[in-house]
Chains A and B, each alone.
Chain A
Amino acid sequence: GAGVSQTPSNKVTEKGKYVELRCDPISGHTALYWYRQSLGQGPEFLIYFQGTGAADDSGLPNDRFFAVRPEGSVSTLKIQRTERGDSAVYLCASSLFGRSEQYFGPGTRLTVT
């Protein structure tokens, strides 16, 4: 079956611009996670959805970052006033309710120039 998909695969934007990153989880997976991975490091947790609501957004670095999942499926990570330090690969993962193993998408490589 289809895995987690993310679009775009690459995004180059100028400092100060707004970007949206999209994640389409595996069908039937109620939990959705966003992580950020910098070069040579492990993924860093950003936000977690169970259904439509953000169950834990403690990993969002500041209020420039926001994520939604209005219908409990597709999620969008939104970054306002991008900074060069936001450059990283943004990974989305999903899991079945009650299961802890997560299935990752291919990621969106964000470059802020």
Chain B
Amino acid sequence: GQQVMQIPQYQHVQEGEDFTTYCNSSTTLSNIQWYKQRPGGHPVFLIQLVKSGEVKKQKRLTFQFGEAKKNSSLHITATQTTDVGTYFCAGPGAGNMLTFGGGTRLMVKP
């Protein structure tokens, strides 16, 4: 079945440093979604990428979808303590059920 993998599993950064998480799918995706889960919270939808090579920005966050639609990345510029949490990528399967990656847990030292 479809597998989605993320690296790294954890990342500690100093506030103000940049952060990147990478996502790879075993199959070609129709779209890729990114979610953020704060400690003790639930996943919150951030963005969806649909087109091959697509790049989208949300303030300090930049999302990319690979040309082959099998990989994606999330880059945060100048991290802040409010960025703390686990970032998940997810790819849809039949019926829009999502296969989530294992997540990258971001910790920011002030």
Contacts and interface: CB of A to CB of B under 8 A. Distances in A.
Interface of A: 31, 33, 35, 41-45, 48, 50, 55-56, 59, 91, 93, 95, 100-107
Given A31-B96, A33-B98, A42-B101, 18 more contacts: A35-B98, A42-B4, A42-B88, A42-B90, A45-B93, A48-B95, A50-B95, A56-B94, A59-B97, A100-B31, A100-B33, A100-B96, A103-B45, A104-B35, A104-B42, A104-B43, A104-B44, A106-B42
B103 interface: yes
Contacts of A106: 41-42
A48 B96 contact: yes
B95, B98, B99, B100: most-surrounded residue (chain A CB, <10 A)? B98
B66 interface: no
Contacts of A55: 95
Give chain B's interface residue range (CB within 8 Å of chain A).
Answer: 20 to 34
B43, B92, B103: most-surrounded residue (chain A CB, <10 A)? B43
B102 A41 contact: yes
A103 B46 CA distance: 10
A48 B103 CA distance: 22
A42 B103 contact: yes
A93 B95 CA distance: 14
B73 interface: no
B52 interface: no
21 contacts: A35-B98, A41-B103, A42-B88, A42-B101, A42-B102, A42-B103, A43-B88, A43-B98, A43-B100, A45-B98, A55-B95, A56-B97, A59-B97, A93-B43, A95-B96, A100-B33, A100-B48, A100-B92, A102-B33, A103-B45, A106-B42
